[in-house]
A and B are shown apart, each in its own frame.
Chain A
């Protein structure tokens, strides 16, 4: 079974500052890792995913994440945030032969002007 931990429920950041949203996972099998974003009153939108290959993956809206197998982490970063990045961010994992995604509790990114 897999599990995902997002330690920060809220992260306040000033506009144009860098941000890192933390995600750690546990799994006994190889995993695929995902970050989804949920804007207010909308569904979950894929930001980026790691399936294999390069451990640094780039996604939409200037986000990137690095897969670190030894630390079982997949932290999300953006060098300069914008007010429009205010949203809930979910880390998710899919392991082995499972169909379903296992999600973390989410991190609410709050951009302060």
Chain B
């Protein structure tokens, strides 16, 4: 069964450094999403992406964040200058359309020191 994959599974970085989290969505899916879950808190929507542009973003998704689909398979989330409060589990998801089920990857655990 096709699945969403994410790399790395864990990332440790120093405050102020840039990080790029990578996702490979399911191959025939057209919508891509990023969510995050700070330890002990809710899973929160960050951004959705369709047709090579941002479709919707939450108030969390500020200028420090950017998303890109650099080739036909990868979907990336970049955090320009990490802060301590960016430490969280980041989930990528994809769907065939915005109405259809979102399939989630296993997540990348980011720790900012």
Instruction: Name A's B-contacting residues (CB within 8 A).
Output: 32, 34, 36, 41-46, 49, 51, 90, 92, 98-106
Contacts and interface: CB of A to CB of B under 8 A. Distances in A.
B105 to A, nearest CB: 5
A32 B19 CA distance: 34
B contact patch SS: strand
Contacts of B35: 100-101, 103
A101 B41 contact: no
Interface of B: 4, 31, 33, 35, 41-48, 55-56, 58, 91, 93, 98-99, 101-107
Contacts of B105: 43
B81 to A, nearest CB: 24
Contact of B106 (A41, A49, A101, A102): A41
Contact of B91 (A34, A44, A105): A44
Nearest to A51: B99
B33 A100 contact: yes
Contact of B4 (A36, A43, A49, A101): A43
Contacts of A51: 99
